[in-house]
Amino acid sequence: MKKGIIFLGILITVFLTGCSKPCDYTAFNESKPKSILVLLPENKTANIDATNAFFSQLTRPLSEAGYYVFPIAVVEETFYQNGVTVAGEMRNVSTEKLRQIFGADAVLYFDINQYGYSYGILSGAPEVSASGTLVDLRTGKTLWNNEITVQGDSTSYFNVLGLLLNRILDNISDKYYPMAGMANSTLFDPASNRCFMYGQRSPLYKG
Amino acid sequence: MFIKKLLPALLVLLVVGCAKKDIYNWDDYEATLYLYHQQGKVNVEEQIKLLEKNIDKSRAKSLLSPPGLHAHLGLLYSNIGKIDDAKNQFKIEKQLFVESATFMDLLLNQKTRNLK
């Protein structure tokens, strides 16, 4: 029961932080991107684990939303081979160039704003926070941007997601990893209120 | 207490929300993306095995492998010098996901020494 209540708290936090503005789908609808290039996130926190936790868990929600997501490690390797090694530099590559190299319709720029314990006025709580911007590589237009904050008891995420049952994940010792996963899957779930749209590979896509 | 009454309702909502069927078979693919950046924790051969297992299961159960999985496997093959296997995976990626064609062609056409 205690875990249930903790989880309830998390749910309410996720819901409350997402109820603010109505969605404007105009640009997204005009663009109808089929594929998304995910660049290495810009980590604005002091925690070096944050980048990998968020980066490795972006592919799934974006794919399940119906987009082709470029293989993040292969993309990263391609940048490295061309001498581009940090997130900030990747972001400076022009949309034309990205389109030419990867043939992607859109690029996702992703910022990690908080990763770990945050001390509030009333009490401290583990918190992860991130924001993303989706830009059309053919027109340079911004299609979507939004942010997410997830708070709560990070250990309960392991239980809720069933992650502890998976042996390979024993190698993941970062306790905020499941919170990053929860943040991403909420932010890019078109059924949540983050204004993200279904892509054409989703059975829920509305053309 | 009202929270105790509300909890089951919310959990039902949650369960309904989670029941949505995935498009792809994700078995361990996300974990391998994480492990790729945890240098040395799980060696490349073992990461390759995880992805091959995903592909075998997908084939056996007629599930779809996620976008990027075959290309990522290609990268892992190339890291241990299996260039032909790598190229084969890039071709499969391109075949399964036409959106990847430009990038896969780039990888297939580059000189092998450019692949790590």
CA A2 distance to own-chain centroid: 29
Q: CA dist B53 to A35, A95, B43, Å?
A: 26, 36, 16
Higher pLDDT, A55 or A163: A55
Output DSSP code: residue B1. -
As a three-state string, the secondary structure of A82-105 is CCCCCHHHHHHCCHHHHHHHHCCC
**What was the pLDDT predicted at A118?**
67
pLDDT > 70 fraction of chain A, expressed in percent and rounded = 77
Identify the band that residue A173 occupies on the pLDDT scale cut at 50, 70 and 90.
confident
CA angle B74, B77, B79 (to 5 degrees): 110
Mean per-residue pLDDT, B52-73: 97
The whole-number average pLDDT for the span A141-153 is 92
CB A47 within 8 A of CB B79: no
| Residue whose tokens read 């492990």 | B35
Q: How far is B107 from chain A (nearest CA, A)?
A: 9
The question of ipTM being above 0.90 is answered as no
Chain segment A88-116, per-residue pLDDT in tens: 999 999 999 999 999 999 999 999 999 98
pLDDT tier at B39, thresholds 50, 70, 90: confident
Confidence of residue B111 (pLDDT cuts 50, 70, 90): low
**Which chain B residue shows the shortest CA-CA distance from A66?**
B23
Of the candidates A68, A172, A191, the beta carbon closest to that of B97 is on: A68
Residue with tokens 């704003």: A113
| C-alpha–C-alpha distance, residues B98 and A175, integer Å | 37
Measuring CA to CA, which residue among A191, A1, A187, A193 is closest to residue B6?
A: A1
Residues in chain B within 8 Å Cβ distance of A63 = 23-24, 66-68
Q: What is the pLDDT of residue A38?
A: 98
Give residue A168's pLDDT.
61
Residue B90's pLDDT is 98
Whether residues B30 and A57 touch (CB distance < 8 A) is answered with yes
Name every chain A residue with its beta carbon within 8 A of the beta carbon of B34. Answer: 52-53, 56-57, 172, 177
Nearest CA to A148 out of A108, A198, A182 is that of: A182
Start-to-end CA span in chain A (Å): 43
Q: What is the mean pLDDT of chain B?
A: 85
The rounded distance, in Å, linking the Cα atoms of A136 and A157 is 33
Inter-axis angle of helices B44-60 and B69-79, to 10 degrees? 150
pLDDT of residue A62 exceeding 80: yes
Residue type (1 letter), A115: Y
pLDDT for residue A36: 98
For the ranges A54-63, A78-87, A165-174, the lowest mean pLDDT is seen at A165-174
Token reading at A35: 């594929």
Mean pLDDT of chain A: 86
Q: Any idea which of A51-55, A120-124, B24-28 has the lowest mean pLDDT? A: A120-124
Q: Report the greatest alpha carbon distance in chain A.
A: 54
